[in-house]
Each structure stands twice: as structure tokens, then as C-alpha cells.
Structure 1
Amino acid sequence: MVTTKRAIARAVYGSRFDHVPWGQRVYLRPGEKAARELQWQMRLRRARTVSLDEYRAQHTAGPIEEFITCHLCGETRQQPLFRPAGENWAYHVVRCPSCGFLYRNPNILPERLGDLYADNYSTFLTGSYAENRQRRYRLTMDAFAPVLDDGDGRRLLDFGCGSGLFLEVAEQAGFEAYGVDLSPDSVEQANKRLSTATAHFGAPDDVPEIAAGGFDVITLWSVLAHLPRPLDDFSRFRELLAPGGVLLVFTVNARSLLLKAHGNGWSGFTRNHLMFYSSETLPALLRRTGFAGVTFAPFYGDTVEAGTAPLPPSTDRRLRRAVASSDGGNMLRALAFADDKAITRWGQNHRVRRLA
């Protein structure tokens, strides 16, 4: 299917966009942005809005699943939109008709979340997934500079630390760094990699030195989409942050033009993803859990930001303008501020959206 779509695009646009990374071409090809937005609006108009009881009658929950309502606004109605599927997995994604939040329904029971990561999850984290991962971390750190430039005398918690790839970067920056993860083999590999940072299996409250809080930075690298109870988790993150602390989020962007273009085949619909946020819905989660503000950094693509994509300067500028003025890119990068002290200290170089 993807090959067919690329062949069609090549026939329509010729070869003049071949030098643009595939995921970014949607922002540059003439008329495509408007066409994808129209395609999205048509999808929303065609999708019926049903009650939770009606939705439940049409679907079956698995042994580790439950039917849920919108965690952000409490709306019980559902607007079924997608059914992504892969090898040995498939699920349904609905949209909240009140606030626009996208989430998997039925969703995973919180107490069974570890089931998704129990069997050699580190094989995935340290295989092809890990390629260029530390470069991605550093590019995002640069986008939110100077928040993570200097870790001297500062505490950092990497929630969902996997095999410790970011913890390694954090300890190099001088942070007193800790990590937690639900994959025991990933934690084992992380501690083999690390020198001063430490990774722990389980939740923050399982580790006394983490449960005590006082963190200057908490990071969630490709973790937010995996959380079945985000209000509970983010309330706890807020408690764990010290005055002036910040929380960094990197996740798939539910406002992405690529989602609107590819639907069920969107790269953000992966086996273990549960909820899908955007710059329109993430602030609601942060507001409800006590954060004072948030800022977003557009994601232009790893190779574009690293300067390794063979783009002429004029094309690079056009791409960045298009991404920044539309959806912000296929990944969502956000920095949440715990309080006014954090905004004053770290928000000077960023456009901060205050959360009442």
C-alpha cells in the first residue's frame, strides 16, 4: 500500500521532491496540505458519534482491556475513527466529540500494562529503534535550551527509561539521574550501560530515593502514548517536581498531517500505544494536573534538524515554515512548567502558554 502511494505521488509530482525526507514531503508538495485537511474534515463528518453503551455493544474487550471514557474531559460519547493493525495485533481508536482527544478503546487495564513489556522488550529498544535515538534526544534538548544544557547539582528522572539511552546522555550532562521502567530486561541493560545514573524496575513510588521527589527535570521520551491513566501519572509527576521544575514530553503528534494522510497506516499507531495527544489536547491534561504553563517546539524531522538531509537552503526554510505554521510535525515536543518560578527561569526564550 505504501509503495503504491509513493508511486502515485511520484507520478503526480515527478522527481523534484525526491531529495526531501519522505515524511516531510506532505508539507511541501503543492496543494497537499489543503487536500489532507479536507480529507480529515470529511472523515470527521462521516464518523458517527455513539454512546458508550452503544459502542460497548459493538466491540469486545480482551482479557487485559477495559472500556473507557475520555480522560481529559469526561465525555462518555465516542466517535470511532480508526482500526490500525499489524502482525498479531489490532485495536480501535476513537475521538472524543467534545475535546477532540484520540484514544484506544477498549484500552489496557492499568494493572496489566506491564504485560506489554514483559517479554524481551529491550530487543526492540536496543535494535533498530535505538538507531540515532541519542541524536534525537540532543536535538530536542537544543530545541528547549538551556533547560537541559547543564545538569550540575540538578536531579533528573527519566520515566520509562528503557535501556538507558537517555540516562547516558543525562549523566554526561552532569545530572544526578534516575530512571524507571516496566521492562526488567531493559533495566538490566541500562545499568550495564550507565556509570553514575541508575535505572529501576517498577514505578517511581517503588524506589525511595525517587519517591522522595525534588526533581528539577522529568522526561518522558516516547512514553506518554503508553500511559492508561494519564491524570494519575501527571498528578504524581507534578508532586515529584521541585519548585521551578519542568517536565519534557516527546510523543507522537495526533495533529500530524501524516495521520490525516495515512489514517490506519499512520506511524504513530503502534502495538503498545494507547493515547494520542496534540498541542490542542495536551494542555488540558497539564492544566488538570496542576502545571502552570507549557511551550511547544516544532519537529522538523531528525535528519533535517541534524543537517544531514540533502536539502537546499531555500527548501529547508520552506519546510520549517510549513511545519511551524501548521501541525508542528509528526512528533510532539513539549516542555511543561511546574509553577511560575519555572516559567520565569526557563521560559524566557520560548512562547509559553499559561494554564489557568
Structure 2
Amino acid sequence: MAAVKRTIYRALYGSRYDRVPWGQRIYVRPGERLAREVQWRLRLRRAELLTLAEYRERTDLGEIEEFVVCHLCGDSRQQPLFRPTGPKGRWSYQVVRCPGCGFLYRNPNIRPERLGDLYANGYSAFLTGKYAADRRRRYRLTMDSFHPVFAQGGGRRLLDFGCGAGLFLELAEQRGFDAAGVDLSPDSVAEANRRLARARAYHGTPEDVPEIAVGGFDVITLWSVLAHLPRPLDDFRRFRSLLAPGGVLMILTVNAASLQLKAHGSAWNGFTKNHLMFYSAETMPTLLRRTGFAGVAFTPFYGDTVEAGTTKLSEPLQRRLRRKVEASDGGNMLRALAFADDEAIDRWGGGLKVRRLPKYEG
């Protein structure tokens, strides 16, 4: 099928877009953005709309799973859209859409007390090797997009939630942050502490570690962690309580409004084995508002190699790519900076398009 698609695209567009990375070609090929949006609307129109009871009757429930309703708006109706499946069928799950607010999430979802089962063995091996070099590059590019928050730590306290093998904590301590991290994978935490000089990684949750539970953090980072959280409202209330006045929360996650999702459906690369929830620039502000944050800013993602300059594109293609990404979904990754309060907006919001969030009354 992939070979057939390549042949069709080559026949339609020739070779002029071959230098554009595959994930970004969808933005620069004429007419494709419109075609994918139409494809998405047709998918939504054709999808069933079920009550939770109807959905439960026809859906299998795994040992560590539970049925859930929309965490953002509480709507219990289910609109099944996707069935991501791993290599050779090793894993599979159902992704539904909330018809009330448009939120995408896995249902059945993982029970919070069993979340550690997903990371118990060998997870640190995934977080190292070639993956490590790619991750470090993405860290730097994202930090640059939110300059000057990450330019110099200056002794400010930083918490990396879901720190994995400590790759970002290394960068944070090099930039002068007083950094700490937590993670549910014991082997990842052990690997992190082997590589760190001053920063420290802990196994468990923030409540398990007195040094972290006391709060007062200037920065909290969630690098590809948000999609893994089965109780996001609880977690984000906790993050808000851990932030000092003027503090910020940085989020990098897959973008559920991505044209790639609309094009590839269940085969989208954001549907991975351990991902549970999928956010966009339309749904994330609801999560932040409900958990006490004062504002949020998003920066577009043009692709790692394009931003790093290792993929050389002509000026016209560069401009076209950036214009289309900014005018549509913001890219396949969602980069957000959440502000704890007005002080944080005043201090760190300069140069960013900050969306102020009204106080949640609920």
C-alpha cells in the first residue's frame, strides 16, 4: 500500500517535494490540506454515536482497563473512530471521540493503579540509543521556541515529570537549573541517576518524594508525557499546586488535530502502545482552565530536521511549509506553555501569542 501511495504522489506532483520530509509533505503539496480536512469531516459524519451502555456491550475489557467518560467535559457518549494496532497484532486499542468537546481518548482506558504495568520492564532501553539523540535535538528546539524560559536556569527549581532515563535533566542541569525528576519506570530512574551530576531522579509520583511534594517549582516539564496520563484533571491540579507564583508548565505531546492523523487514521504515528489521551490546541485549554491555569501559548512545529536545519529546503518551500503549518493545525507535535498566574504571563509571555483562560467556576 505504501508503495502504491508513493507512485500516486509521484505521478501527481513529480519530484519537486522529494526533499521535504515525509511527515511535512502533506502541508506543501497543493490541495492536500483541503482534501484531508474533507476526509476528516466525512469520517466524523459516518462514525456511529453510541451511549456508554451500548459501547460497553460491544467492546472487550482487558484486565488492567476500565471504561471511562470524557475527562474534559464529562460527556458519556462515544464516537468510535480508530483501532490502532501494533506490529504483528501485539497490541491494539479503541480510540473514541467525545461528541461534546471533540476530545480523543482511548476507551477502555488503563486503570490508574495499573499504569506502572506499562513501564515495568525494559522501558529505559527504548529511551536510549538513537532515540536519545533525536530526543535531545527535540528538547533544544522546543526550549528555543519558548525563549527565554529555558535560556539560563539561574538556580530556578525545575521538575521533569516522567523524566525517563534523564536525558532532559542532563540538559537542565547544564543550563543551571536546580532540577529533579520523577518516573514510574524503576530501570529508567536508575539509568537517569547514573548519568546525572547534580540533578536527581526519583521513582514514583510527586507525593512519594518529600523534596518534590513541598512544591515551589519555577518550571515543570512534560516531555511526551501528557498522552500517558489516565487522570489528567487530577494530575494537572497537582502540577498547578507544585508551581511557585510566576511558574510555568511546558508540554510537548502529539497533536490530535494533526493533518497526519486526518490522513493516516489508525496508522497515525501518534497512536503508540502506551498513549491514552490525545490533545489539540482546541481541547488542551479546557484541561488547563479547569485545573487553575491562567493562560496558555502554543508554538508551531515544522518538523525536527527542518527546524534544526539538517534538511535544506528552498526559500519558497520553507515559506510555504511554515505558512501552511501555522494556518492549519500547528504541526504533528503540540508545543504548549501554560502559565500558572498573571505574574507568569507578564514574566514569560512576551513574544508569544498568549491565550488568557477565564477562571473555572465548577
After TM superposition, the structure 1 = structure 2 runs for residues 302-313 of structure 1, keeping only pairs within 5 Å, are: 302-313=304-315
CA distances 1:51-70 after superposition (whole Å, capped 9, x unpaired): 00000001011000000000
1:44 equivalent to 2:53? Answer no
Residue number in structure 2 paired with 1:257: 259
In the alignment, what sits opposite 1:15? 15
Within a 5 Å distance, the mapping from 1:101-250 to structure 2 comes to: 101-250=103-252
* Alignment partners' CA distance in 1, 2:178 and 2:355: 29
Equivalent AA in structure 1 for residue 36 of structure 2 = R
Q: TM-score by structure 2 length?
A: 0.97
Equivalent position SS for 2:307: helix
Pick from 344, 347, 350: which aligns with 1:348?
Answer: 350
- Alpha-carbon offset, residue 314 of structure 1: 1.8
Q: Indicate yes or no: 2:80 matched with 1:80.
A: yes
Distance (Å, rounded) in 1 between the aligned partners of 2:125 and 2:221 = 22
In the aligned structure 1, how far is the partner of 2:245 from the partner of 2:134?
A: 33
1:5 aligns with 2:5: yes
Q: Which amino acid aligns with 1:233?
A: D
Q: CA deviation at 1:4?
A: 3.1
Distance 2:325 2:65 in 1: 36
**Is 1:93 matched with 2:112?**
no
- Cα deviation for residue 313 of structure 1 reads 1.6
Provide the C-alpha distance between the structure 2 equivalents of 1:14 and 1:143, rounded to a whole number of angstroms: 34
Task: Report the secondary structure of 2:273's partner residue.
Answer: coil
Q: Deviations over 1:18-58 (max 9, x none)?
A: 01011000000010000000000000000011000000001
- C-alpha separation in 1, matches of 2:2 and 2:181: 37
Residues 289-298 or 129-138, more deviating: 129-138
The equivalent residue for 2:30 is 30
Secondary structure (helix, strand or coil) at the match of 1:49 reads coil
**CA distance in 1: counterparts of 2:209 and 2:116, whole angstroms:** 17
Where does residue 294 of structure 1 map in the other structure?
Answer: 296
1:139 Cα deviation (Å)?
0.6
Q: Per-residue displacement from partner, 1:172-212 (whole Å, max 9, x unpaired)? A: 11000000001111111111111011001100111110000
Q: 3-state SS of the aligned residue for 2:163?
A: coil
- What is the CA deviation profile of residues 60-97 of structure 1, one whole-angstrom value per residue up to 9, with x for unaligned ones? 11000000000000000000000010131000000000
Q: Deviations over 1:113-164 (max 9, x none)?
A: 0000001100111133223211110111110100111111200000000000
Whichever residue aligns with residue 63 of structure 1, its letter is: E
Counterparts of 1:220 and 1:318, CA distance in 2: 30
Offset at 1:6? 2.4
Q: CA deviation at 1:7?
A: 2.8
- Please give the alpha-carbon distance, in whole angstroms, between the structure 2 residues aligned to 1:295 and 1:233: 20
Q: How far apart, in 2, do the equivalents of 1:56 and 1:12 lie?
A: 44
1:226-252 deviations in Å (ceiling 9; x for gaps): 000000000000000000000000000
SS class of match (2:241): helix
User: 1:141 & 1:270 partners in 2: Cα distance?
Assistant: 24
- For 1:126 and 1:115, the matched residues in 2 are separated by 20
Q: Partner of 1:216: helix, strand, or coil?
A: strand
Equivalent-residue separation in structure 1 for 2:106 and 2:100 (angstroms): 16
Q: Which whole-Å CA distance do the structure 1 matches of 2:167 and 2:2 have between them?
A: 31
Match of 2:62 in 1: 62
Q: Which amino acid aligns with 1:242?
A: A
Amino acid at match of 1:193: R
Cα distance in 2 for partners of 1:225, 1:105 equals 13
Distance in 2 separating the partners of 1:287 and 1:120: 36
Amino acid at match of 2:7: A
Residue 353 (structure 1) shift? 0.3
- Partners in 1 of 2:58 and 2:308 — Cα distance? 47
Q: Distance in 2 between the 1:174 and 1:187 partners?
A: 21
2-structure distance, mates of 1:4, 1:111: 44
Partners in 2 of 1:195 and 1:332 — Cα distance?
30
Aligned residue identity for 1:255 = A
Shift of 1:13: 1.4
The 2-side partners of 1:60 and 1:127 are apart by 36
Q: Secondary structure at the match of 1:85?
A: coil
Aligned letter for 2:110? I
**Separation in 1 of the partners of 2:14 and 2:233?**
47
Query: CA–CA distance in 2 between the matches of 1:2 and 1:147?
Result: 41
Aligned mates of 2:171, 2:322 — CA distance in 1: 27
Cα distance between partner residues in 2 of 1:225 and 1:44: 22
Local SS of the residue matching 1:131: helix
Residue type of the partner of 1:110? P
Q: How far apart, CA to CA, are the structure 1 residues paired with 2:136 and 2:7?
A: 33
Residue deviations 1:285-309 (CA, integer Å, cap 9, x gap):
0000000000000000001111111
Give, as a single letter, the amino acid of the residue that structure 1 aligns with 2:132.
A
Runs of 4+ that moved beyond 4 A: none
